[in-house]
Chain A
Amino acid sequence: MTDIPTSGQASMPQGGQTPGMGPSEPDKAGRVMLVLRRFAPWLASIGRLTRHQVRFTLLLIGAGWGTLRESLRPNSWRRPVIYEFRATLRQVVGGGFLSIVVTATLTGLMVVSQAAYWLGYAGMAQMTGSILVSVLVREISPILVGIILMGRSGMLCLTEIGMLVLGGEVRGLQARGIDPFLALVMPRTFAFTVGGFTLGMIFSVVSLLMGFMVAHASGAITSSVWTFFFNVLGAMTTWDYLIIPLKFVLVGFFVGLGACISGLTVSSNDTMASIMPRGFARGIMLVLVVNILFMLDF
């Protein structure tokens, strides 16, 4: 039997040196490799952790872009997709309406009447409109609408889609050539978007109206309801006309998208006990992030 040099041995000159390298360089390279090999598991675990932590954010960005892009294609809006959009919109607006009215009433009672009373007491009654717009309509309403939207409809959506994934029905849809993203995620996200805007507007009007009624009854406000709403509208800047609806729209969009994506990405190890808290935490985070981003920029 003859000894056949391996390719490594054949290409390597005598003494283990590569051409053009000093005698100490192979040692240095070997030492670097040794250090890297020692730290490789640590680096891998840091990478794994980072990837795990940002996974949902990346998914959300990708799915958000995908939803917008797909929605612009006319053949994305097929009959079952439109049916799903309508059914979800009915559920979002119909299911959240009463909660929104009750919460808006309570908020109106607290915020509007208190603002009117204390601003009048301080002799700053003329600022009532601008204070209400900036505090109630622009800051509080999107957060409360987002939370109600998530609690009433987002969690339901998350559970439904999650159970469909765990039960194999989503795979069954794929087997029939029905894209779950088109059939479930896109219409539901847009239904939440429209629903968020609708409920946000209802919330704003009801809270202001209820606050006015209480403040008027207690004598804190003496003007008519028309004057009150005129003052509120007059206190709104051009940006407010853009930002307030945009906040409602974006809160709805991200609550819907987050719920759908959380549902669609459940694993076989997940149960209701793990899906629900995770979805809730993500939903709250999204509502706050949307509002905080607007707060930073405007």
Chain B
Amino acid sequence: MTANAPLLELRDVVPTFEESGLMPAPYNLRIMPGECVVIDCRDENRAAVFADLCTGMISLSQGSIRFMGLDWTTLRDRQLNALRGRIGRISRSGSWLNLFGTHLNIMLPHLYHTNDPLDNVVEHATELGRRFGFPGLPITAPDRLSAADQARAACVRAFLGRPDLLVLEDISDVLPEENVLPFFEMMTAARDRGCGVLWFVRSAVAWREYRKAVNLHMRLLDEGLFPMRVM
């Protein structure tokens, strides 16, 4: 990746309608390192599909998506997976494996993609967990956690391991009030070291307190993606 190159760039992207259900209109988006783009989308399923689109999981009928200078469509499976490992993601659904405890779910992507010693990973995850109000790392199965604890665990997982891009779906309705500030702090710290943020929100309330730090505000509608003015 060259200096001053966009971290994530969607250029005239038209996703296949059959696979995504997104309007086959050209989507354009550019996130530079350290930038935060807020995408307003009331429909959480559409937001999840668009997040999938940005992470190269949906085939395109036109255009290209580049992440860290690499076009998703030109990469092979192992490269695709390695590149997706650089993305910290918060999903609203289908993100927890009940086969393992929550602690393993949190550390799974990091243990899979890196050779960092286990002790370091555990230490880092525990530290993040404390920031989000856990006494340590929750070891029970994710389906036994409350929605608030799942949201906190999702934050720990997304911020673990210095990701280069954060793709955050809106969990403001389940994230406890006392964890909103640590969430913003972690996001700012990540941006300070060059991580881009793509943040999906369902209402203005979710990002009101972070409004001044947002670089770009867009709206994802049935008709496509439209830039808005950051007030």
Residues in chain A within 8 A of chain B (CB atoms): 78-81, 83, 87, 160, 164, 167-169, 171-179, 183
A237 to B211 alpha-carbon distance, docked (Å): 79
- Given the known A-B contacts A83-B104, A177-B83, are A167 and B94 also in contact in the complex, defined by CB atoms under 8 Å? yes
Contact A79 B112 (CB under 8 A): yes
Contact of A160 among B77, B94, B99, B118 (CB under 8 A): B99
Using A83-B104, A168-B93 as known contacts, list a sample of 9 further A-B pairs with CB atoms less than 8 Å apart, ordered by residue number in A.
A78-B111, A79-B118, A81-B112, A87-B99, A169-B95, A174-B57, A174-B81, A176-B89, A177-B80
CB pair A177 B52 closer than 8 Å: no
The answer to whether A164 touches B97 (Cβ under 8 A) is yes
Give the distance in Å from the alpha carbon of A192 to the alpha carbon of B86 in the complex. Answer: 32
List the B residue with the shortest CB-CB distance to A81: B112
User: Which of A160, A164, A172, A178 meets B112, CB within 8 Å?
Assistant: A178
Task: Give chain B residues whose Cβ lies under 8 Å from the Cβ of A87.
Answer: 99
Instruction: Note all chain A residues with C-beta closer than 8 A to B51.
Output: 175
Q: How far is the CB of A84 from chain B (nearest CB, A)?
A: 8
Chain A residues with CB under 8 A of B89: 175-176
State how many angstroms separate the Cβ of B80 from the closest Cβ of chain A. Answer: 7
Q: B95, B112, B118: which contacts A78 (Cβ < 8 A)?
A: B112
Residues of B within 8 A of A168 (CB): 93-94
Q: Which residues of B contact A (CB under 8 A)?
A: 51-52, 55, 57, 77-78, 80-87, 89, 91, 93-97, 99, 104, 108-109, 111-113, 118
Report the Cα distance A81→B80, complex, angstroms. 18
Q: How far, in angstroms, from A173 to B85 measured CA to CA in the complex?
A: 10
Interface of B is mostly: helix
Q: Please, how many angstroms separate the alpha-carbon atoms of A87 and B112 in the complex?
A: 16
**A177 x B84 contact (CB < 8 A):** yes
A163 to B187, CA, bound (A): 33
B94 pairs with A177, CB closer than 8 A: no
Q: Is the CB of B82 within 8 A of A178?
A: no
A79, A164, A175: the one within 8 Å of B55 (CB): A175
Contact B81 A179 (CB under 8 A): yes
Task: State in angstroms the CA–CA spacing of A168 and B45 once bound together.
Answer: 12
Shortest beta-carbon distance from B7 to chain A in Å: 16
Chain B residues contacting A175 (CB-CB under 8 Å) are: 51-52, 55, 57, 84, 89, 91, 95
| A–B complex contacts, Cβ < 8 Å, 22 sampled | A80-B104, A80-B111, A81-B112, A169-B96, A172-B91, A172-B96, A173-B97, A174-B57, A174-B81, A175-B52, A175-B55, A175-B84, A176-B87, A176-B89, A176-B108, A177-B80, A177-B81, A177-B86, A177-B109, A177-B112, A178-B109, A183-B112
Q: For B98, give the chain A residue with the smallest CB separation.
A: A169
Chain A residues with CB under 8 Å of B109's CB are 176-178
